[in-house]
Amino acid sequence: MNKIKKHRKKICPHCGRKLWLKEFYPLKKGGRSSWCHDCVLKYKREYYQKKLKVVDGTFMHRKLHRIVEHKGYSTRIFWNGNMLSIMQRHYHNTINRELAEMLGVSERSVTRKARELGLEKDKEFISSTSKKNLLLAHIKGKELGYPGCFTKGMKFKGNQYTGKIESE
């Protein structure tokens, strides 16, 4: 390629500085951008501020078809009173996957919100679920031909027995 041109300097038409070629972004098509890296970054930042900045507050998200809450740089799901009361009433004895389905949000959102609200699962609920999982694991183990190789805390993924104890 153009190895000879590597150490040349070029003038940026925007800021007028004479800079090494490496200060200019290489383009996909080949060659380099006419503006220097600093000018391009500055332009992009200003463009984002002017055109794309979302005003803080709650609004209907066009793609998600749901109400979201925007604050600073992050957009989050807006939790209405009904959703919050579902969390308050059912979090302690419902698995997160089911809650996520009920609320139409991701499991991660459920976990995050529970932490925010200081909600915890019932100890009894956790132990009964883990017993159920162990039972399921034994059934799965028989199916796969490893009877009795599962003990408490072990997990399997799909049809693959991972053989690892998940530690928190």
> Using CA atoms, how far apart are residues 152 and 137, in angstroms rounded to an integer?
9
**Of 24 and 91, which CB lies nearer to Zn ion in the complex structure?**
24
**Of 38 and 107, which CB lies nearer to Zn ion in the complex structure?**
38
- Work out how close the CB of 45 gets to Zn ion at its nearest, in angstroms, rounded to a whole number: 14
- Work out how close the CB of 44 gets to Zn ion at its nearest, in angstroms, rounded to a whole number: 13
Contact 15, 28 (CB under 8 A): no
**Of 19 and 105, which CB lies nearer to Zn ion in the complex structure?**
19
According to DSSP, residue 35 is labeled S
- Work out how close the CB of 35 gets to Zn ion at its nearest, in angstroms, rounded to a whole number: 5
Closest Cα partner for 133 from 160, 111, 155? 155
**Of 32 and 121, which CB lies nearer to Zn ion in the complex structure?**
32
According to DSSP, residue 125 is labeled H
Start-to-end Cα distance in the chain: 52
Residues at the interface with Zn ion (CB under 5 A): 12, 14-15, 36, 39
**Considering all CA atoms of the chain, what is the largest pairwise distance in Å, rounded to the nearest integer?**
75
- Work out how close the CB of 5 gets to Zn ion at its nearest, in angstroms, rounded to a whole number: 19
